[in-house]
A and B are shown apart, each in its own frame.
Chain A
Amino acid sequence: MEKIITLNDVTKEFKVLNRKEGLRGSIKDLFSRDYNIVRAVCNISMEVSRGEIVGYLGPNGAGKSTTIKMMTGVLEPTSGEILVNGMVPYIKRTQNAQNIGVVFGQRSQLWWALPVIESFNILKDIYQVSDRNYSDMMELYTSLVDIEDILHKPVRQLSLGQRTLSDILAAFLHNPSTVFLDEPTIGLDVSMKGKIRKLVKALNKEKNTTVILTTHDMGDVDALCRRIVIIDKGSLLYDNDIENLKGFFGSYRTVKVRLGREAEELTKENLKRLANELQQKLLDTHPEVNSLTAISNESWIDVLVHEDEIDIMKVVNSIQEHYKIYDLKLEEISTESVIRKIYEGEMQ
């Protein structure tokens, strides 16, 4: 298959001044040569084919954004090679820019004071999109999301969700071969997340656009990505299909429970506390179990059980001894839990 992106042994280091405290420290800093080297990305290699949606995951500070900035040509790798659409992004930055779209969740690339449609018009000219392609794209957009009432509002008056949606549309407008989405769903509500997932999926399918997506929301990953790449502390931990990953954890299952009728009304903190309490009680009653965890998840509590350690029915019985179970579901291990286990270093 056609390779769109190739990373070969890529490393990025930042030189950071060791800052001292206080005013005297600040003055000393002016003359200081006391640098620390931060290795943000460390010997990463991967290839991405045309039309793939890759979930690029990792905890905060893992090096995801840095990798994206290198692929967009903004940062120069300290060592290693990157090719995007057959070009070295850093050297051919402006040419590469013509073939990529980028969304950074916390920043908007739209013109703040102008209506969204004006931003689109400006982008149309900047990327030299033909009238025909532009109107085709707008037609596609209108068929996928309800944008009529957003288009004529100034960007600064949009809600975060509407702004993000507009930013995503702006990134796809010139029909780039690759779109980078860096935490696009951060801070959005469930329904807006759903809209954005649907939109990205449809655009990927319709235009065969390659998408590199970073997110902390496993719902995004489940909805969009077949393949995931996980990095931590700059190094690659995992690069394969998501199903494959779940295979590693085949003997894990999740018991989802809702405790008491009022579960819906519990605050997040209280539910969290309840989950912790439940986990503690279960671990106390079954000292032979090590890897059992309970976490809150919307109005549910997810209890992750390793079936080699304990029978799932035993766990359910124990829960019932302590609490009144209002609702119960059994699920395969969730992506969320798999990723958590990988971050915690359970996959060697």
Chain B
Amino acid sequence: MNLRKYITLTRAGMMESLHFRTSAFVTILGNMIYLVIIYYLWKAIYASTGTGIVNGMTFEATMIYLVLATALFYFMEMYLVWNMGRDIQSGGIVLKLIRPMSFKKYMFFSCSGSFVMSFFMTFVPTALIVYFVTNGAIYLGSNLLFFIISVIFGLLINFYVDFFVGTICLYTESVWGINIMKEVVVLLLSGASIPLAFFPESLRNVVMVLPFQAIYNTPLNLLIRHNLNNFDRITMIGIQLFWVVILSIITSLFWKKAVRQITVNGG
């Protein structure tokens, strides 16, 4: 595989996201408002229980987890379902299908530029702030390496989930409802909005065998949990890898079948 052919799309994406600086500011602002809301929400939850520890997590640990989860969310969100749906409805998808590479690779690398940008522009600053504010609740060691690998796998899993849902749009030609449904399912079952420790036992057992938790829960735990040994860590990454392989195959097969019935509107 000639890497340059793909990396050039990453570069293009980085340049493009630099052109949309205002949207980055709006995102960061929305992010802050969201964080203030969850701060008071969880403060109320903790106050109502009267104890300092709920489901094995202190208030501080919960907040750190949620702040980083939010930062990770803004970094991973690529509006792929939305973009694919719009391309399918408008017929603009034709311009991506005339490229000499698979549609999936084209979409992945086109999105990848904004990953790189927002990783450095939103995730890293947030993590640094958390590090300094909490006086080293994120410790610096081999966990960082595991975290980086895990984020990349999480990113791929998130991409495949979005791509799968985007492919459904080839059949339905409607995007809005499907996209909302996906967002709710992923945000809830991945541990992005509520730490999995707060889930009832039975639900948590189900969630752990689904791919979604590998998007947010796994990398965040690898970053902030102190009590993991290397065996745990490698197992967690192994599970992610399993999902990457499985979802990669499923999305390719599904796309191959779906694209046969593409109609391409307009023109």
Contact = CB atoms under 8 A, between A and B. Distances in A.
A182 B9 CA distance: 26
A125 B262 CA distance: 28
A133 to B, nearest CB: 15
A76 B15 contact: no
A93 B267 CA distance: 20
Interface in B113-166: none
Contact of A14 (B92, B97, B260, B263): B263
Nearest to B174: A30
Contacts of A182: 267
Nearest to B105: A94
Interface stretch (A109-117, A145-153, A225-233): A109-117
A72 B94 CA distance: 9
A339 B16 CA distance: 45
Interface in B182-197: none
Nearest to B94: A74
Interface string A54-97: 00000000000100010011111000000000000000011101
B58 to A, nearest CB: 45
Nearest to B172: A30
Chain A contact residues: helix, strand, loop or mixed: mixed
Contacts, number: 78
Contact of B97 (A74, A114, A118, A121): A74
A247 B222 CA distance: 80
A18 interface: no
B100 A97 contact: yes
Interface in B69-117: 91-92, 94-95, 97-102
B262 A74 contact: yes
A104 interface: yes
Size category of the binding interface on chain B: 20 to 34
B39 to A, nearest CB: 35
B98 A100 contact: yes
Given A14-B263, A94-B102, A121-B8, A73 B95 contact: no
Interface string B229-266: 00000000000000000000000000000001011101
B15 A118 contact: yes
Interface of A: 14, 65, 69, 72-76, 93-95, 97-98, 100, 102, 104, 106-107, 109, 111-114, 118, 121-122, 125-128, 154, 182
27 contacts: A65-B267, A69-B264, A72-B94, A72-B97, A74-B97, A74-B262, A75-B263, A76-B260, A94-B102, A97-B99, A97-B100, A100-B98, A104-B267, A107-B91, A107-B92, A109-B98, A111-B12, A113-B16, A113-B20, A114-B16, A114-B19, A126-B5, A126-B8, A126-B9, A126-B100, A126-B101, A127-B100
